[in-house]
Structure 1
Amino acid sequence: MRPLLSIAIATKDREQYCIKTIQSILSFDDDRIQIAVADNSGTTAVKEFVDIIASPKVTYFYDNSPISSIDNFNRAMEMTTGEYICLLGDDDGILPEAMDYLVWAKQNNVDSFCCKDTIPYFWPGAHPNYENGGLIVSKFTEGKRKIDSKKELIKLLEAGIVNYMFFDLPKSYHGFVKKDVMLEIKERSGDFYGALSPDIFSVVAIALSCKNHYIIDKPLTIAGVCRKSTTADQFLGLHSGELKDMPHLKNRKVPYVWDKDIPEFYSVTTIWGDSGLNSIDAMKMPEYRKHFNIYPLVAQAILMNRKQILNYMVEKCEKLRKERSINKLVFWSKVSCSIFSLCVDKMRRIYKNSGSSKSIVIEDVEDILQAFKLYSQTVNKT
């Protein structure tokens, strides 16, 4: 019988986290779930674990040869056989309530749905405020809203492809998408994922492909942050510098061509911008590029990386400005206005969150399996 849901996991050298994530999903004991794991780790720890449990729900492939992270994501997606897919990190989790929504989605021919928010979980050592692990549980509703994904994508482009998680866009990472939609993306673009960031690439590609997208107000996944994650590295001010220093470029089959409309420096913000525009091109829908607004992207990059590479960012932005023949005063005035707008938006979100019901913080949570159990207990009590 074809699985209702396939959970794709691409992992590399984070064996202890991946094993716990697999255990947490298997704890549901749901035959409608397939777990597809593409493992590029230097050890066989995950392979040995999978061999021992011998679960028919787990499809596993091990290859420790040099391959790019994008190739590993594509390999994991290629292994999925379910009607719907969900891409998770090897330190993330999923909640069993997701299966009820998948039944609803199948019955109503929904192409894509995702939760507005996830449940944050910091593995021990990942965050200075939660040295022994921390789970943050907020109150939620159970509403559903149908969204025009193409209109929402235009909003994201006008916002500089910044903070995509604040938009009501479809996604495969912590989202649920028909496998048929992903196959259409592969047929049109050449693969399931491209560029440098699989999550942003797929956000854009799915938005351009799906016809029936919903936002669910109830969290359906747990977003894990482990010590080896890029999110944890951002707390330390890492992930910025020259393009040649990007780990995303390792082991790629062909040299990567950076997008002409994105300043040439390494940061989370510019990687998102490059991958978003790359996805538009890969999907052969260039008419959407006209909506891209460079100024919020530059502003966000400055806000995020000013302590590390401010002078270098300014140099590269000046290079782009001159190539585009944009007046210097106009360019930097618009960047300054975008910085102000982003700061105001952040203050509004902080104020809104402070005025709502406070989240419950659970500390001393040792792994994702315990996080899942504690979340279920907390929700059932409220």
Structure 2
Amino acid sequence: MQPLLSIAIATKDREQYCIKTIQSILSFKDDRIQITVADNSNTTKVKEFVDALASPQIAYLYDNSPISSIDNFNRAMEMTTGEYICLLGDDDGILPEAMDYLEWAKLNNIDSFCCKDTIPYFWPGAHPSYESGGLFVSKFTEGKKKVDAKKELVKLLEAGIVNYMFFDLPKSYHGFVKKDIMLEIKEKSGNFYGALSPDIFSVVAIALSCKNHYIIDKPLTIAGVCRTSTTADQFKGLHSGELKDMPHLRNRKVPYVWDKDIPEFYSVTTIWGDSGLNSIDAMKMPEYRQYFNIYPLVAQALLMNRKQILNYMIEKCEKLRKEKKIGKLVFWSRVSFSVLGLVIDKGKRMYRDSFASKSVVIENVEDILQAFKLYNQTVNKS
């Protein structure tokens, strides 16, 4: 029987988190779920765990040879056989209610849907304020909203491919997409995931491919942040510098070509911009590049990394400005207006959130399995 959902996980050297994530999914005892794991770890701990389980629901590949992170994501997706797919990190989780929404999506021939918000969970040691683990539970409705994915993509491009999580876009990472759509993307672009960021690459590619996309108000996945995650590193001011220092470039089979419209420095913001434009080219729809607005991207990068590499960022932005033959006053005044706009937008969100229902914070949550149980207890009690 074909699974209704395949959950794809690519993992490397985070064995304890991956094992707990697998256990939390299997605890649902739902044979409509398949788990595919591409493991590039230096140890065989996950392999030994999976072998001992001998579960028909798990498709597992172990290969500790040098491969890029993107190749590992593609391997995890290649093993999926479900009607719908969902890409999760090895420190993330999913709620069993997702299966009800998947039955609804299948019945109504929906290409993709995703949640307005995820459930944030900080593993022990990942956040300085929640050293013993912290889970955030907010109120929600069960509303559904149909969205024109291509129009939403244009909005994202006009916003500089910045803060994509604030847009009602489809996604495979913490989202649910028909496997047929992913196969269409692979046929057009050469693979399921490309560029440097699998989540941004697929956001753009799916938006260009799907016809029926919905946003669900109810959270269906848990966004885990472990001690060694990218999000945790951002709290420490990491992930910025020269392009050659990017871990994303390790073990790539061919040299990577950075996009000509993105300043040449390493940051989360520029990686998102580069991967988004790369996806447009890979999908052979270059007409969408006209909507890309460089100024919010530069503004966001300056705001995020000013304490680490301010002078280096300005140097590289100046290089791009000269190559594009944009006047200095025009370029930097537009960047300044974009900085102001981003600050105002953040202020508006904080103001709205202050009047919205407060999140319940549950502390001393030791792993994703306990986070799943505590979330259900809290929601049911409410």
5 Å matches for 1:20-35? Answer: 20-35=20-35
Query: What corresponds to 2:172 in structure 1?
Result: 172
How far has the Cα of 1:53 moved from its partner? Answer: 1.1
Query: What corresponds to 2:216 in structure 1?
Result: 216
Query: What corresponds to 1:318 in structure 2?
Result: 318
Query: What corresponds to 1:99 in structure 2?
Result: 99
Query: What corresponds to 1:201 in structure 2?
Result: 201
* Alpha-carbon distance between aligned partners in 1 of 2:151 and 2:51, rounded to the nearest angstrom: 46
Secondary structure, counterpart of 1:209 in structure 2: coil
Show CA shifts across 1:87-120 (max 9, x none).
0000000000100000000000000000010000
Aligned pair 1:16/2:34, yes or no? no
Task: Give the TM-score normalised by structure 2.
Answer: 1.00
Aligned pair 1:335/2:325, yes or no? no
The runs of at least 4 aligned residues of structure 1 exceeding 3 Å deviation read: none
5 Å matches for 1:225-304? Answer: 225-304=225-304
* Alpha-carbon distance between aligned partners in 2 of 1:304 and 1:95, rounded to the nearest angstrom: 32
* Alpha-carbon distance between aligned partners in 1 of 2:130 and 2:18, rounded to the nearest angstrom: 20
How far has the Cα of 1:213 moved from its partner? Answer: 0.2
Show CA shifts across 1:66-95 (max 9, x none).
000000000000000000000000000000
* Alpha-carbon distance between aligned partners in 2 of 1:37 and 1:140, rounded to the nearest angstrom: 31
* Alpha-carbon distance between aligned partners in 2 of 1:28 and 1:45, rounded to the nearest angstrom: 23
Query: Aligned partner of 1:244: which letter?
Result: K
Secondary structure, counterpart of 1:87 in structure 2: strand
Identical counterparts, % of pairs: 86
Q: How many residue pairs are counted as aligned between the two chains?
A: 382
* Alpha-carbon distance between aligned partners in 1 of 2:199 and 2:359, rounded to the nearest angstrom: 27
Show CA shifts across 1:112-166 (max 9, x none).
0000100000000000010000000000010000000000000000000000000
5 Å matches for 1:73-222? Answer: 73-222=73-222
How far has the Cα of 1:311 moved from its partner? Answer: 0.1
Secondary structure, counterpart of 1:139 in structure 2: coil
Show CA shifts across 1:243-273 (max 9, x none).
0000000000000000000000000000000
* Alpha-carbon distance between aligned partners in 2 of 1:347 and 1:362, rounded to the nearest angstrom: 26
* Alpha-carbon distance between aligned partners in 2 of 1:319 and 1:135, rounded to the nearest angstrom: 44
Query: What corresponds to 1:61 in structure 2?
Result: 61
* Alpha-carbon distance between aligned partners in 1 of 2:344 and 2:158, rounded to the nearest angstrom: 17
Show CA shifts across 1:301-337 (max 9, x none).
0000000000000000000000000000000000000
Show CA shifts across 1:180-203 (max 9, x none).
000000000000000000000000
Secondary structure, counterpart of 1:35 in structure 2: strand
Structure 1: gaps (5+ residues): none
* Alpha-carbon distance between aligned partners in 2 of 1:80 and 1:352, rounded to the nearest angstrom: 40
* Alpha-carbon distance between aligned partners in 2 of 1:357 and 1:200, rounded to the nearest angstrom: 30
Secondary structure, counterpart of 2:41 in structure 1: coil
Aligned pair 1:40/2:32, yes or no? no
Query: Aligned partner of 2:246: which letter?
Result: M
Structure 2: gaps (5+ residues): none
